[in-house]
Chain A
Amino acid sequence: MKLLVNFSRGKGRKPIIAQAVRDTGVLITVERAVIDSSEGEALIDVPDDQCRLVRDKMTSLGADVRILEHGITFNESECVDCGACISICPRDVFSFDDEFRLRLAEERCILCGKCVDACPHDALTMPL
């Protein structure tokens, strides 16, 4: 399960992810992270049965944590099955089936948003 973690460094720099790993013993995969001097956002992947444990730990350390139930939002009626998204995606979320119909492996999505710009037909959007 994927968690979106937002943290502010206003109250001093805290090793939130490292501490959550140490305290919970859950191994966290950081899928992507954008961190600058004052704030940061990380998308992490944790085993489904431990995701609440990690969320609660990180929340207590001062982070905003949201469980992401879904990957990129796909509007099938706008899609024309061109495949512009396929080679753009860093996680191989998109592929064609035998009939050249676009298929999504949503569980692989790390919500990087690269496909949103690449889709000529506005069929892909970031979930709210």
Chain B
Amino acid sequence: MRKSIDQINERIRDGNARVVTAEEMPKIVAELGEDGALKEVDVVTTGTFGAMCSSGAFLNFGHAEPPIRMERIWLNDVEAYGGLAAVDAYIGATQQSETRGEEYGGAHVIEDLVAGKAVSLRAISKGTDCYPRRTITTELLLEHLNQAIMCNPRNAYQRYNAAVNTTDRTLHTYMGTLLPSSGNVTFSGAGLLNPISNDPKLRLIGSGVPIFLCGAPGMVVGEGTQHSSAGGFSTLMVTGDLKQMSQDFLRAATMTGYGVTLYVGLGVPLPVIDKEVVRATAVRDEDISVDLIDYGIPSRNRPALRKVTYAELRSGSINLNGEEIRTSSLSSFRRARQVAETLKDWIKAGKMELSLPTRSIDPKRVVRPMHETVKTPRVLDIMDRNIVSIGEEEEIRTAALKLLKGETNHLPVVNSEGRLVGIVTTFDISKAVANPGKANLVRDIMKKKVITTTPDESVDVAVRKLEQHNISALPVVDGNNHVVAILTAINLGKLFGRWLK
């Protein structure tokens, strides 16, 4: 048996369509079987509500008198992209205020407009014969704009990897606050309610398909940026009319230490046309797994510690190496449900009809990393290979002499096997001399917790280490913890000559 989209739309128009949410579907399929569910259910609604950084809106302000060709544009001190003719702008969600930093950004401008608040527009221009005006300042409400069209390049991620932090300091990431020593796990996504998780082969979701976007009827434009369906990380580009949106499903947010983002409520209604749709929409949280990623590693290729399902993540804690770790969702499951329920009400009331894609999204696409033509400097490019080190059993006086002779301020300390066990600085030695006590050997005064780098590490990462720990040198170690070089603030000076031309 198959149902056509026309049959389903006819039932919607007649008010007879059976509409359920993706959360209700697994039970219905278990009770009625696939054939029974296909006969019974016409539409499955989905929903998600979470941080979707890649969002924004096109705004048209109309012409001023005398007219201006706005080149640089600020809304409440947040810069909007103005390279779009004379009186259009694109306000991106993550752009930060030039006066208020991460506490206010493009997402807040969008939310303020939707909330009916006045937003201050400021723009400058060089002035042309046809557009003589050079500056403009005005207060605008959403109703004053000709168009305000939300257009989000990357929304509705099919799933998202969970985050943990194995380092010994708190991290502030786009995955929220990650406590040290795997103190918590954060995750994002609506699991069994997620639109694409209910249509992983993208048979139903594609260009032109009607959706719920922040409380307004919207539409799928097509494949989202970074779309990678082969790995289970499909995304959608979507659009909708900002003027019809509601604060209930659109919220600006700040991830402390990271920046501004926009929480977007998005749902796609799925027509139940055949058994394959029934099977796909019967998906449960237990069936959807993601990697648990260690955000302590500052690289694109962060290691995965284990696989976790949304059922485990949503239970409140997961097990990692024998320990129970509490989980935090960053997206709201309650609001995701409200999206799916609202969409269900719309369709039951005949407010939205469904359609199949006018153009399909490639279900085999794989996202690629950036093609880089200029090598970023690595530690090995600037490190100092002339290292002076000292044994832990040596006397402090020997260390002082070595420091003088080597004209350095940092002495890596090695054990009898040549492995790094500590570091002494001129400061440590001065302290030992100023406060003579029992300390006699290097071992007694060295700092045992050494922050290190490796030859392959990017200089940017090494510099962050120097800043975070407020230190001025990093021993460079190989895989066996043997010191192969040292990186000091002085070496960083080489960058200016070689790389920053």
Q: Which residues of A contact B (CB under 8 A)?
A: 80-88, 96, 99-101, 114, 117-118, 120-122
With a cutoff of 8 Å between Cβ atoms, the chain B residues found around residue A114 in the complex are 177
**How many residues on chain B are close to A (CB under 8 Å)?**
32
**Are A120 and B185 interface neighbours, CB within 8 A?**
no
* Smallest CB separation, A86 vs chain B (Å): 5
Q: For B256, give the chain A residue with the smallest CB separation.
A: A117
**Are A120 and B328 interface neighbours, CB within 8 A?**
no
| Additional 14 contacts, C-beta under 8 A, given A82-B329, A84-B329, A87-B327 | A80-B251, A82-B331, A82-B332, A84-B328, A85-B328, A86-B328, A87-B184, A87-B325, A88-B179, A100-B332, A118-B256, A120-B255, A120-B263, A120-B330
* Cα A120 to Cα B174 with chains together (Å): 10
With a cutoff of 8 Å between Cβ atoms, the chain A residues found around residue B327 in the complex are 86-87
Q: For B333, give the chain A residue with the smallest CB separation.
A: A100
**Are A120 and B253 interface neighbours, CB within 8 A?**
yes
Residues of chain B from 309 to 351 with CB closer than 8 A to chain A in the complex: 316, 325-335, 337
With a cutoff of 8 Å between Cβ atoms, the chain A residues found around residue B331 in the complex are 82
Partner of A101, one of B184, B316, B334: B334
Chief secondary structure at chain A's binding surface: loop
With a cutoff of 8 Å between Cβ atoms, the chain A residues found around residue B255 in the complex are 120
Q: Which residues of B contact A (CB under 8 A)?
A: 49-51, 172, 176-177, 179, 183-186, 251, 253-257, 261, 263, 316, 325-335, 337
- Given the interface pairs A83-B328, A117-B177, A120-B261, the reply to whether A88 lies near B335 with Cβ below 8 Å is no
**Are A84 and B186 interface neighbours, CB within 8 A?**
yes
* Cα A60 to Cα B251 with chains together (Å): 49
**Are B337 and A100 interface neighbours, CB within 8 A?**
yes
- Given the interface pairs A80-B49, A80-B335, A82-B330, the reply to whether A87 lies near B185 with Cβ below 8 Å is yes
Q: For B260, give the chain A residue with the smallest CB separation.
A: A120
* Smallest CB separation, A111 vs chain B (Å): 17
**Are B49 and A83 interface neighbours, CB within 8 A?**
no
Q: For B49, give the chain A residue with the smallest CB separation.
A: A80
* Smallest CB separation, A85 vs chain B (Å): 7
With a cutoff of 8 Å between Cβ atoms, the chain B residues found around residue A118 in the complex are 176-177, 256, 328
Q: For B258, give the chain A residue with the smallest CB separation.
A: A120
Q: For A117, give the chain B residue with the smallest CB separation.
A: B256
With a cutoff of 8 Å between Cβ atoms, the chain B residues found around residue A83 in the complex are 328-330, 332
* Smallest CB separation, A2 vs chain B (Å): 23
Q: For A97, give the chain B residue with the smallest CB separation.
A: B334
* Smallest CB separation, B482 vs chain A (Å): 39
With a cutoff of 8 Å between Cβ atoms, the chain B residues found around residue A117 in the complex are 172, 177, 256-257
* Smallest CB separation, B316 vs chain A (Å): 8
With a cutoff of 8 Å between Cβ atoms, the chain B residues found around residue A86 in the complex are 316, 326-329
Question: Which are the 4 A-B pairs with shortest beta-carbon distances?
Answer: A87-B184, A120-B253, A87-B328, A87-B326
With a cutoff of 8 Å between Cβ atoms, the chain A residues found around residue B49 in the complex are 80
* Cα A101 to Cα B184 with chains together (Å): 20
* Cα A29 to Cα B199 with chains together (Å): 54
* Cα A120 to Cα B334 with chains together (Å): 16
* Smallest CB separation, A121 vs chain B (Å): 5
- Given the interface pairs A80-B263, A100-B337, A118-B256, the reply to whether A87 lies near B186 with Cβ below 8 Å is yes
